[in-house]
Amino acid sequence: MATPDTTSPEAQHGGSGSPLITFDKVVKRFGDHVVLRDLDFNVGPGERCTLIGPSGSGKTTILRLLMTLEKVDGGHIWVDGEPLSHMPKGDRLIPADEKHQRRVRTKIGMVFQQFNLFPNMTVLGNITEAPIRVLGKSRDEAEQDARELLERVGLEAKVDAHPTQLSGGQQQRVAIARACAMEPKVLLLDEVTSALDPELVAGVLNVLREIAETTDITMLIVTHEMHFARDVSHRVLMFDGGQIIEDSPPEEIFENPAHERTKRFLKAVLEQG
Amino acid sequence: MADLQFVPWVDNLLGGLWVTIYVTVLGAVGATLVAFALGLLVRMKAALPRIGARIVIEFFRGTSLLVQLFWLFYVLPLLGYRLTPIAVAVVAFSLNFGAYGAEVVRGAITAVPRPQWEGAIALSLSPVQRMRRVIIPQALPLMIPPFGNLLIQLLKSTPLVFLVTVTDLATVADQYRAAEGNEAFIFGLLLVVYFVLAYLCTLLMHVLEARAKGRLGQREERSKIFAFRGPAAQEGEVA
Amino acid sequence: MTWDMDYALDSLPPILEAFLRYTLLATVLGSVLAAVLGLVFAVIRRAHVPVLAPLTTVFIEFVRSTPIPIQLFFMFYVLPSIGITLGGLFVGVLTLGVHYACYYAEIYRAGIDAVPPGQWEACTALSLPARYQWQRVVLPQAIRNVLPSLGNYVISMFKETPFLFLISIPEMVRTAIDIGGGSFRYVEPLTIAGLIFLAASYPSSVALRRLEHRVGHA
């Protein structure tokens, strides 16, 4: 097997606006089941991509690999020009150590389906914990930034509340604020509204729309909310069986899907409203 | 190397080991009987057996085994009951560990899913048949790990019997110490022996558990039988 | 057999004193040692520290499987020979503490396992370093999970303090027996000792069960 160079394939080819994220022949297995096989794709800076497809098609796995919650079984992932799960040694790539991973990973933030707020801290504590411990901000600075973020998500009043006192939608908005407090370049959104009561979904989606409109943060979104995806994405990628079978702007893929599989999937999903 | 003078003592030590095992086994049998008796009584609707059983359980769980041993040894004769020292030990162990076991039995029976009860009732099984044929077989696999922990605790409590003049392994070891010194050696040896005995108990429990589960159609991995004890059953490991 | 009330009341003060000076003190000190050391064991095992983790596992299993009296004797005789001559109570507290630390380690482990995996993932997503992950997120939740069980073991240790008499510590039960031996009437002193045990442990058990309900519904 050829040992890859220590710079990303795209950078090697000297493209302008080199991609922020590159998956290079990534393979991921769970036991005998191969979820991703030789997956190649790129995401440019500021791009917002929605990943759609049936469950088990690998969409969430991609997010989890980027967040280093899972390890790749083959291939490489590049973030902002640096390898994520590997690190350069001389002119080879070896599996990354914790320090390297943590450094590259700080550029990525994630919001989870189950919110995963820390129940033993207040809302303010949740948002300021990582900026203080990881980014080295002072407590005052972190709290100041946290309050601003809470204002943007409409929860200034809940600064000292505990997560258990908030509704699902409020908790998720705090989770979004918490992820944004780390000033990531990439935001991963893993079915962030799927665990919410229907009435609370809109609140969260509006916050995400606002972030999309006012910042140029790169987003990778896994969702079933097709209208939201259409409003916010630059690209929609249809996954099936661990492969991308279609990759187009939202207008195209929703109006006129090229692939039969995509057609069937969209029909089934959109019918559920 | 210090002269251990160990060989003349081997017979005595083996004798003591036999007593330890004897008391452990009898105590375990007694405790199981007491546990089931109390555990079933405390679940009854009728107030008298339920409250009576509860009092007995709390009394023997709330007081120390040591105190119970002494009490039985010194006080029972005054009440007219003459028991041999070994009998005193076995009775004390049975009552004390039986009380803890009762909670395990009660908990395990309660943990059998409600639909099982309902199914048995729908089939017009009598209460006794319900218990025997449906509920208890399903409760057994849940009971075995905490019982296993209690068994090991019982084993660990056997040194106490020297206080009621029973010559177990620990007693002989102390005699050896008094005669020959070499404390580190003999007590170190004892620790190893008890460790092996405890591991054998754990093995036995895992085998029993696998068989109980097997009768319910749940297969257990072979390798698990040889593992060390798993998580401490919280209720079961309180002395 | 009759109950001699005067004799019973006479024997109360020395027994009570022994309770406070030795039994209660040993329980408190032993529990603190066990709580702290058990946490160390649990974190070492859970974080899979190389070499230390498997050693800790074997040590815990060994200590849990062997009787406290034997361990007491072993420590009582072995410690002086390696230069530590700090008296019976020190040996007693150390032995009880280490012994119970092994139980506590298992309890902490259950508590840590009960922390939802999403919490760990959120820490990874925020790139929170391991130290803060444990200190600020996982352990606070884990310990709250298992508070009632920890309390149960304090009561359990309390009831095993009589073993300390084996290394010549005049704790409560020993004192009761000595008093009984003085006049050959054991019933009253032993009953008093038993009652003190009940009086100390039963209300604590009830309180713990209530705590368990509250934590369960939190």
Question: In this predicted structure, which of A121-125, A268-272, C29-33 has the lowest mean pLDDT?
Answer: A268-272
* Residue B4: per-residue pLDDT: 63
* Chains in touch with C (≥3 Cβ pairs < 8 A): A, B
Residues of chain B with Cβ-Cβ distance to C100 below 8 Å are none
Residues of chain A with Cβ-Cβ distance to C126 below 8 Å are 109, 129-130, 134, 178-179, 182
Amino acid letter, A88: P
* Residue B223: per-residue pLDDT: 67
Size of interface B-C (CB pairs under 8 A): 125
* Residue C184: per-residue pLDDT: 79
Q: Is C149 on the interface with B (CB under 8 A)?
A: yes
Owner of token pair 């509704």: A167
Amino acid letter, A169: G
**Could you please report the per-residue DSSP string of C23-36?**
IIHHHHHHHHHHHH
Output DSSP code: residue A222. Answer: E
Two tokens, residue A111: 């919001």
Q: Which of B156, B159, B155 is nearest to B28 (CA)?
A: B155
* Residue A2: per-residue pLDDT: 41
The Cα–Cα gap between A258 and A57 comes to 18
Strand A186-190: give its sheet, edge to edge. A108-111, A186-190, A218-222, A48-52, A235-240, A243-248
Domains with residue ranges and CATH for chain B: 7-226 (1.10.3720.10)
Which H or E run includes A152? helix A139-152
Q: Which of the pair, A256 or A235, is modelled with greater confidence?
A: A235
CA angle B174, B180, B185 (to 5 degrees): 70
Q: Is C187 on the interface with A (CB under 8 A)?
A: no
Q: Which of C64, C16, C24 is nearest to C155 (CA)?
A: C24
User: pLDDT by residue (tens digit) across A199-212?
Assistant: 899 999 999 999 99
Q: Which of A1, A17, A14 is nearest to A76 (CA)?
A: A1
| In contact, B166 and B23? CB cutoff 8 Å | yes
**Could you please report the per-residue DSSP string of C96-153?**
HHHHHHHHHHHHHHHHHHTS-HHHHHHHHHTT--HHHIIIIIIHHHHHHHHHHHHHHH
CA dihedral over C10, C14, C16, C19, signed as positive or negative: negative
The Cα–Cα gap between A257 and A251 comes to 9
Q: Name which of C64, C77, C190 is nearest B74 (Cβ-Cβ).
A: C190
Output DSSP code: residue A163. Answer: G
What dihedral do alpha carbons C124, A240, A12, A248 form, nearest 10°?
Answer: -110
Q: Is C210 on the interface with A (CB under 8 A)?
A: no
Cα–Cα separations (whole angstroms), residue B7 to B4, B11, B189: 8, 8, 14
* Residue B1: per-residue pLDDT: 44
Whether C67 and B158 lie within 8 Å, measured CB to CB: yes
Can you tell me whether residue A77 is helix, strand or coil?
A: strand
| In contact, A219 and A187? CB cutoff 8 Å | yes
Whether B66 and C70 lie within 8 Å, measured CB to CB: no
CA dihedral over A110, A112, A115, A118, signed as positive or negative: negative
Give the CATH number of the domain where residue C76 resides: 1.10.3720.10
Residues of chain B with Cβ-Cβ distance to C30 below 8 Å are none
The Cα–Cα gap between C28 and C31 comes to 5
Res C21 pLDDT > 50: yes
To probe the interface with B, which of C1, C61, C73 has the most B CB atoms within 10 Å? C73
What dihedral do alpha carbons B179, B184, B189, B190 form, nearest 10°?
Answer: 70
Q: Which of the pair, B122 or A190, is modelled with greater confidence?
A: A190
Cα–Cα separations (whole angstroms), residue C161 to A114, A166, B69, B190, C158: 47, 47, 15, 21, 5
Distance from CA of C133 to the nearest CA of A (A): 10
- Counting residues of chain B whose pLDDT is more than 70, the rounded percentage is 88
The Cα–Cα gap between A217 and A188 comes to 10
The Cα–Cα gap between C13 and C32 comes to 27
Whether A120 and C124 lie within 8 Å, measured CB to CB: no
Distance from CA of A52 to the nearest CA of C (A): 22
Q: Name which of C152, C187, C197 is nearest B64 (Cβ-Cβ).
A: C197
Whether A68 and C144 lie within 8 Å, measured CB to CB: no
Res B236 pLDDT > 60: no
Q: Averaged over A169-198, what is the pLDDT?
A: 93
Query: How many angstroms from the chain centroid is the CA of residue C171?
Result: 16
- Counting residues of chain C whose pLDDT is more than 90, the rounded percentage is 24
Q: Averaged over C134-149, what is the pLDDT?
A: 85
Distance from CA of C217 to the nearest CA of A (A): 12
| In contact, A156 and A147? CB cutoff 8 Å | yes
Q: Averaged over B208-223, what is the pLDDT?
A: 75
How many domains is chain C partitioned into structurally?
Answer: 1
Of chain B, the end-to-end C-alpha distance in Å amounts to 39
Domain residue ranges of chain A, discontinuous segments joined by +: 115-183
Q: Averaged over C131-150, what is the pLDDT?
A: 86
Q: Which of A227, A224, A157 is nearest to A196 (CA)?
A: A224
The Cα–Cα gap between A192 and A171 comes to 11
Res B135 pLDDT > 90: no
pTM of the model: 0.72
Distance from CA of A93 to the nearest CA of C (A): 23
Mean pLDDT of chain A: 86
The Cα–Cα gap between A173 and A126 comes to 12
CA dihedral over C51, B152, B190, C34, signed as positive or negative: positive
Q: Is B185 on the interface with C (CB under 8 A)?
A: no
Q: What is the ipTM of this complex?
A: 0.77
Q: Averaged over A188-192, what is the pLDDT?
A: 93
Residues 6+ apart with CB under 8 A from C212: C148
Mark whether A and B touch (3+ CB pairs within 8 Å): no
Mean pLDDT of chain B: 83
Residue A173 CB-half CA count within 13 A: 25
Can you tell me whether residue B114 is helix, strand or coil?
A: helix
Q: Name which of C78, C193, C205 is nearest B184 (Cβ-Cβ).
A: C78
Q: Which of A185, A190, A180 is nearest to A107 (CA)?
A: A185
| In contact, A249 and A234? CB cutoff 8 Å | yes
User: pLDDT by residue (tens digit) across A58-111?
Assistant: 889 999 999 888 888 988 898 988 888 888 887 777 887 877 888 888 899 999
* Residue B160: per-residue pLDDT: 87
User: pLDDT by residue (tens digit) across B166-198?
Assistant: 889 988 888 888 888 777 888 888 999 999 999
| In contact, B9 and B177? CB cutoff 8 Å | no
Q: Averaged over A184-206, what is the pLDDT?
A: 92
Q: Averaged over A123-149, what is the pLDDT?
A: 92
Which chain B residue is nearest to residue C1, measuring alpha carbons?
A: B78
* Residue B237: per-residue pLDDT: 41
User: pLDDT by residue (tens digit) across B20-67?
Assistant: 999 999 999 999 999 999 998 988 888 888 999 999 998 888 777 888
**Could you please report the per-residue DSSP string of A3-60?**
PPPSS-HHHHTT-SS--SEEEEEEEEEETTEEEEEEEEEEE-TT-EEEEE--TTSSHH
| In contact, A158 and A170? CB cutoff 8 Å | yes
Q: Name which of A115, A118, A134 is nearest C127 (Cβ-Cβ).
A: A134
Whether C103 and B74 lie within 8 Å, measured CB to CB: no
Whether C125 and A67 lie within 8 Å, measured CB to CB: yes
Distance from CA of A215 to the nearest CA of C (A): 20
